[in-house]
Structures are given as structure tokens and as C-alpha cells.
Structure 1
Amino acid sequence: MEAVTLSQYASQFMSVTVIAIFMAISPGADFAMITRNSLLYRRRAGLCSALGVSVAIWVHVGYSIAGLAVIIANSPMAYTVIKYCGAAYLIYMGVTTIMSRHTIQAATSQGTMNALSAFKTGFLTNALNPKTTVFFLSIFTQVVDRATPVGIQLVYGAIISMAHLVWFSGVALFLTHPKLLRAFNNARHIIEGVVGVVLIGFGVKIALLGS
């Protein structure tokens, strides 16, 4: 029976896996936040933020399995609330990054962003990201059949979550390589300003999405 089940959902499995990889590697707010925390607060902060993104995926999995994905897809108000909350958070983080440019240098040398704070920034960035919501709406309203067992849907969720964890952990590890950090340290203030502007830019883009 198990073999039959796996064979039955093989097409869905492949589709979800491909979409999961694309979701993870496509440039966006998650990537900008992981970059910010990795460069400004070092490796542990980047990895904890990656874990936060991965865990936040389960928020989207939860409302999708509960059937709320269909409601959101057909409710402009619900989607608008998600959109503006995500936009406001990114703009806030971008402004905070720019405004704290003169204090981050001392902070980063001591690694002042604790694991919980790093986790929360990653979690909130993904949980409030309407782009991720759109991906899940497409997956659970077009790819995954309503008759798909909850257990199989949870497997799909695990695939998406793991894809994000692996990708963003890799990004954090790459950006915090000692040789790269030495180069980044020479242009720290410029990088802080650029990252802040990018986060604000993503926030504005999200706010204007669909307007």
C-alpha cells in the first residue's frame, strides 16, 4: 500500500520539490535578511536566522493544510493585511540598519545579536512575506490535490522547510567565510547602508505589490 501511495503522489512530490528549491534560492526579503544578520552579526546569527526562516515555513504549511490558503486566495482583505504587515516589518528593519550604522561596528565585534533575536528576525521575515504566501497559494490550490492525505502534505512541508534551511545556512556559511569577512570589514559602512536600502526597497515593493 505504501509503495502505491508513493507512486500515486510522485508527480506532486517532484513538483513540490522543484518549487521548494525555486522558493529558497530566488532573491528576496529572506535572502536580504540572512545577508544582513550574517555580515553584521556573524555566523551564529546567520545560521539562527536561517533556522527561523525554516520554522516559519510551517506557519504557511499550517494554514494551507487547514484550508485557509483557499480563503486567503479569495480574500483580498486577508492578503492585504499580510502584505502590509510584511512591508512594514522590512521597512522598519531597513531603517533600523541604516540608523544604527555607527553603533553596529562595535556591536558586531562582540556578537551582540543573540540566537533568539536572530531566530525571530528570520522567522518574522518569512512568516510575513507575501511572496512566500503566494508560493504556498499556488502549491496548495493548484499542485496539491484536496484529496492528498495530510501525512503527504506534511512531507511536502518538510521538503520546503528543509530546502530553505539548507540554502540559507549555506548562504550564512559562505558570507561568514574569514576571507570574505575581511573584505567586507573594509567596506562595512557602505554594506550596512546598502543592506538597509535593499530591505526598505523590498518593503516598498511588497507594499506596492498588486496596487
Structure 2
Amino acid sequence: MIDQATLFTYLVILLGFVFIPGPAVLLTLARSTSSGVRVGLATGLGIAVGDVLHTVLAVVGVSAVILTSALIFSVVKYLGAAYLIYLGIKAIGTKIDPKLPITTNTLDAKTAFRQAVFLEVLNPKSAMFFLAFLPQFVNPENGFIAVQLLTLGLLFVLMGLFSTATVAFSAGHVGTFLRRNPVVMRWQNKTVGGIYCGLGIRLALQEQ
């Protein structure tokens, strides 16, 4: 069982970490403003599912294999980066007819969820976080290490989900106004696409 002092320190650090405008927050923000609250929440949930998988991998040691193998690390890194850049180019190339009102979401929740899970699973930075950060708060004297890692990882998932949900609710309502203006929507798609491409480039440049 993790002692209270360690747990409190971990939660304080985690609270600041999950609200830093990182890839998860920026992706949720982009999805919420372009497609609404529901899609933003689906994106956050997808990211959380991906983080659950990273937690399990950290517990069983698979993340260690990824980080010690330059080939596997590179494959995962570039697959995730390529997918983000693909989504960005697709968004930038989306054509909006200014004569037609925007009445539907540009992305459905199920698709957003699947994409978010895929992107998070292929994000080696998440694997590095769970492998390098979580063990700092593990003490062998407090019991099974696997249980401690699982507890810390799930706490991260829950706080991350709270962060993305907050972003989704805040940004989605702004997106409702934007989607009613085709001209604004056209430039918004380019902005969203730029965010995706930026995240992809950032991921590709992430060092092992």
C-alpha cells in the first residue's frame, strides 16, 4: 500500500502535469472546438483507454522492452507521428462550401474515440512516462510493486480524463458558434490541421 505522504506528493505533481497543454490536451481542444463536446469527451476517453494499456504494459515490463530497443521505439514513434500528420493534412484539405450551413459535426464520437486510442497507444512518450515517472513513487517496503504501479497508473488515467473532460466542456461550446460560420470553419479546419501536424512533428522529434 502506498503511504499517504508519497501519494499526496504524486497527486500534486500529477495535477500540474495533466493540465499542461501537452498532446492530450491539445488534441482534445482541437476535437472539441471542431466537432463539439461529445467528440471531445470521446477523444479524452480514448486517450484514457490508451493510458490504461500503457499502465498494464508498464506493470508487466513490456514498456521496458520498447524503450531499450531503438528499432521498436522508432517504429512506434514514427507510426504515431505519421498518423497525426495524416489527420492534420486531411483536416487542412477539408473543403467547406460557404453557401451551405454547418449543421452536423465534422467527426463522429466513435471515430474520435478509435483514433484517440490508436494515437495514445502509439505514443512512446506515454510509455516513457509510465516507465520512468511511476517507479519514482514505488517503495518495495509498501507491498507488491505491481499493485503500486497499477494504482499510480490508474490515478494518472483518472486525472487525465478529468483534465480532457474539462477542456472538452470548455472548448466545445465555443465550437458550436464556430461551426455555424462556414468562413470561420474553413480557417478553423486549417488551424486544427496545423495542430495535428505540429503534434506529429513533435512526436517524431521526441528523443528516446
TM-score calculated relative to the size of structure 1:
0.82
Structure number having the greater helix percentage? 1
Assess, with a 3 A threshold, how the Cα gap between structure 1 residues 93 and 183 changes in structure 2: closer, same or farther: closer
User: How do 1:21-36 residues align onto structure 2 when only pairs under 5 Å count?
Assistant: 21-36=15-30
Aligned to 2:31: 37
Aligned to 2:124: 130
Aligned to 2:177: 182
Instruction: Indicate yes or no: 2:149 matched with 1:153.
Output: yes
Q: Bigger shift: 199-208 or 168-177?
A: 199-208
Assess, with a 3 A threshold, how the Cα gap between structure 1 residues 19 and 72 changes in structure 2: closer, same or farther: farther
Query: Deviations along 1:107-129, whole A, 9 cap, x unmatched?
Result: 96223633311211221222222
Q: Secondary structure at the match of 1:38?
A: helix
Structure 1 letter corresponding to 2:84: L
Name which of 7, 24, 46 aligns with 1:13: 7
Aligned to 2:63: 69
Q: Indicate conservation of the 8 Å contact 1:53/1:123, yes or no.
A: yes
Q: Secondary structure at the match of 2:96?
A: helix
Aligned to 1:208: 205
Instruction: Indicate yes or no: 2:49 matched with 1:52.
Output: no
Aligned to 2:189: 192
Instruction: Tell me the percent identity.
Output: 26
Query: Deviations along 1:54-82, whole A, 9 cap, x unmatched?
Result: 11111110110001232233222222122
Aligned to 2:89: 95
Assess, with a 3 A threshold, how the Cα gap between structure 1 residues 138 and 18 changes in structure 2: closer, same or farther: farther
Aligned length: 204
Following TM superposition, where does structure 1 have runs of at least 4 consecutive aligned residues deviating by more than 4 angstroms? 105-108, 145-148, 183-186
**Shift in Å at residue 39 of structure 1?**
1.4
Q: Indicate conservation of the 8 Å contact 2:28/2:43, yes or no.
A: yes
Structure 2 letter corresponding to 1:166: F
Following the alignment from structure 1 to structure 2, what is the Cα–Cα distance between the partners of residues 71 and 31?
27
Q: Indicate conservation of the 8 Å contact 1:29/1:129, yes or no.
A: no
Q: Indicate conservation of the 8 Å contact 1:23/1:135, yes or no.
A: no
